[in-house]
Amino acid sequence: MSITPLVQSATPARRSESGLRAILSALVGNRGAQCAAVRDSEKIEVLEFRRINTADRFEMRFGWWSRIYEYPMVLDMINKHVGRKDICVHNTSWGFEGCHIAFKDILESSYEAVVNTDVQPSELPNTGVWDITTPPRTEYLNHFDVVVNVSTMEEVDCDHLSIFDNLFSQVKAGGILVCTFDLPGLQLKKFENLFGKVLATAGNDINGKISALPHMKYEHLTCGIMVVRKMLKCPAHCDACA
């Protein structure tokens, strides 16, 4: 199975908050109100929504206070909630260097088809350019078994639910979106309202100080994860949402 990388010009969002594009209008065109909204909570099954804590698995090879938890957790969530190797994965805002490449390599060696996009081009294979503040190409709507975004939404100065829409729109029915995020940073209340639940905590949340790989500059930050599945059918059982 082959995937053509997304190629659309974009202004840097991850490395700079200036010059972001205006959020474009609805992704799904002329569907009815009940079935059109990508963020319609009746189409979302919330599988995980919690803070990452010191009891979670970590791998020191990823070399950053939060990534040593985030990358293993993303892989574990794909295994737990999808459990197959013959899948298409979109690794968004993938990162360009160091531990980002290590994670990219693991995804590509683990799953049948993987594309990695960010706001800057890369000469590495299976990469493309896409800005998460803009809608994806039409052919990528409802296309991927798994869409991943690691610790990027909170870095972008715009409506985080609009970014969620852009990501979730690419998940096929039955597939999952996996996102990690820093707090403070994510517009948390919007997601708690969308999901109808508060972000869970075990009371031993990781931060830059108590991480297994401490970084005191980030002792004020904690990390969280959300995993959501796109429901197979909307409440009206229309073909557009299948």
- Classify strands 113-118 and 127-129 as parallel, antiparallel or unpaired: parallel
pLDDT at 23 exceeding the cut of 90: no
Give all domains of the chain, ordered by start, each with its CATH number. Answer: 43-241 (3.40.50.150)
Tokens of 94: 């993938």
pLDDT, tens digit (0-9, with 9 covering 90-100), for 122-148: 999 999 999 999 999 888 899 999 999
Residue 8 CA to residue 83 CA, distance in Å, equals 31
Residues of 141-163 as b/e, b for ≥16 C-beta within 10 angstroms? bbbbbbbbbbbbbbbbebebbbb
pLDDT, tens digit (0-9, with 9 covering 90-100), for 89-106: 999 999 988 999 999 999
The packing angle between helices 188-195 and 160-168, to 10°, is: 50
Q: What is the CA radius of gyration of the chain?
A: 17
For residue 232, what pLDDT is reported? Answer: 76
CB neighbourhood size of 25 (10 A): 7
Residue bearing the bigger pLDDT, 77 or 4 = 77
**Confidence band, pLDDT 50/70/90 cuts, at residue 236:** low
For residue 139, what pLDDT is reported? Answer: 86
Cβ-proximal residues to 83 (8 Å cutoff; 6+ apart), any chain: none
Mean pLDDT of 69-73: 98
Q: What pTM was computed for the model? A: 0.82
Mean pLDDT of 13-24: 31
Q: Specify the amino acid at residue 162.
A: S
Task: Assess contact for 152 and 17: CB atoms under 8 A.
Answer: no
The per-residue pLDDT of the chain, averaged, comes to 85
What is the maximum span of the chain, computed from C-alpha positions, in angstroms?
Answer: 51
pLDDT, tens digit (0-9, with 9 covering 90-100), for 137-192: 888 899 999 999 999 999 999 999 999 999 999 999 999 999 999 999 999 999 99
For residue 124, what pLDDT is reported? Answer: 96
Task: Assess contact for 228 and 46: CB atoms under 8 A.
Answer: yes
